[in-house]
Amino acid sequence: PPAISIRDLAKTYAGIKGAPGKEALKGVSFDVPQGQIFGLLGPNGAGKSTLINILAGLVTKTGGSAEIWGFDIDTRTRNAKRSIGIVPQEIVFDPFFTPFEVLENQGGFYGIAKHLRRSEALLEAVRLADKRDAYARTLSGGMKRRLLVAKAMVHSPPILVLDEPTAGVDVELRKQLWELVSRLNDDGVTIVLTTHYLEEAEELCDRIAIINHGELIANKPTRELVDMA
Ligand code: ADP
Ligand code: ADP
């Protein structure tokens, strides 16, 4: 199956106290092919986080359907969720946990037996092995972002979704994150990332879908899209 398959996906956030609702997604359809780096591009407010949060099971859709690795997100939520790792926009760690503990706790959360956890290998993969036992609060912003990526990979999902991984980060860190994403993709992980930087999508992605005001306005291999512009 496609890594992700979305059909007529819709979300209207309920209005508060009788106010009209907000149509954040107005029936979006696309497939993310396995093995690709897929960019979801759009300006602020386009509906990118809403779409990611629906896939993550954090927001309930109000219409349409979505399958992750062939599992319907409604009927097979557990399998669907286990097929995907989400790197959220916000960095949230307990400041007194160490990177090693963050990954061990996440392994525990997924019910992975201690001897089957890969915390050390994951720290290697995101180049944080030397920070294994440092308090999270002492890590730089870039280190925290890389730890978030490792945390999302704890259950070895075939799909990794990153919500605006480079929003507000400096050039150096952006390069590091691009390199990390490319490396994971080389290892066979299908990547979906949202961004509002066209150059980021062009640089990294095999395919780009553009959403604006909750509607899909393009979905093409990167080269075709760039040739059009
Ligand atoms: P859901 O239907 O997913 O439960 P709600 O419509 O109940 O979502 O809204 C969840 C909360 O998010 C509400 O308390 C609402 O006030 C708040 N909220 C409103 N506008 C925004 C926004 N632009 N971004 C994030 N949160 C918002
Ligand atoms: P993006 O990630 O592309 O910036 P979002 O998915 O965060 O876009 O937001 C899409 C639209 O939905 C925006 O108009 C935003 O204000 C609105 N929105 C997002 N979350 C909520 C919420 N919880 N309640 C009400 N409106 C929301």
Which numbered atom of ligand 2 lies nearest the CA of 163?
A: 2
pLDDT at position 206, please?
A: 97
Place of tokens 């109000």: 62
pLDDT at position 77, please?
A: 78
Cα(13) to ligand 1 centroid in Å equals 7
Which tens digit of pLDDT belongs to each residue from 155-213?
A: 999 999 999 998 888 888 888 899 999 999 999 999 999 998 888 999 999 999 999 99
As a whole number, mean pLDDT of residues 105-110 equals 94
Q: Which ligand ends up closest to the CA of 58?
A: 1
Could you tell me the pLDDT band of residue 40, with boundaries at 50, 70 and 90?
A: very high
In our burial notation (b when 16+ CB lie closer than 10 A, e otherwise), range 18-36 reads eeeeebbbbebebbbeeeb
As a whole number, mean pLDDT of residues 87-114 equals 91
Cα(197) to ligand 1 centroid in Å equals 25
Tokens matching residue 59 = 């927001």
Q: Which ligand ends up closest to the CA of 51?
A: 2
Q: Which ligand ends up closest to the CA of 59?
A: 1
As a whole number, mean pLDDT of residues 58-74 equals 94
Strand 159-163 versus strand 84-87 pairing type = parallel
Which tens digit of pLDDT belongs to each residue from 11-34?
A: 999 988 888 899 999 999 999 999
Ligand 1 pocket member 19 (CB < 6 A): no
Contact 122, 160 (CB under 8 A): no
Contact 88, 37 (CB under 8 A): no
Tokens matching residue 14 = 């309920």
Ligand 2 pocket member 45 (CB < 6 A): yes
As a whole number, mean pLDDT of residues 148-158 equals 95
Residue from 11, 12, 13, 163 whose mutation best tests the ligand 1 pocket (most atoms within 8 A of CB): 13
Measured by CA distance, the residue closest to atom 14 of ligand 1 is 16
Residue 229: pLDDT over 70: no
First to last CA, the chain: 31
pLDDT at position 28, please?
A: 98
Query: Across the strands, what pairs with 23?
Result: 12
Contact 99, 188 (CB under 8 A): no
Ligand 2 pocket member 54 (CB < 6 A): no
CA distances from 4 to 9, 103, 166, 167 (A): 12, 26, 22, 24
Long-range Cβ contact pairs of 107-113 (< 8 A, separation 24 or more)? 107/154, 107/155, 110/82, 110/154, 110/155, 112/154, 112/155
Ligand 1 pocket member 59 (CB < 6 A): yes
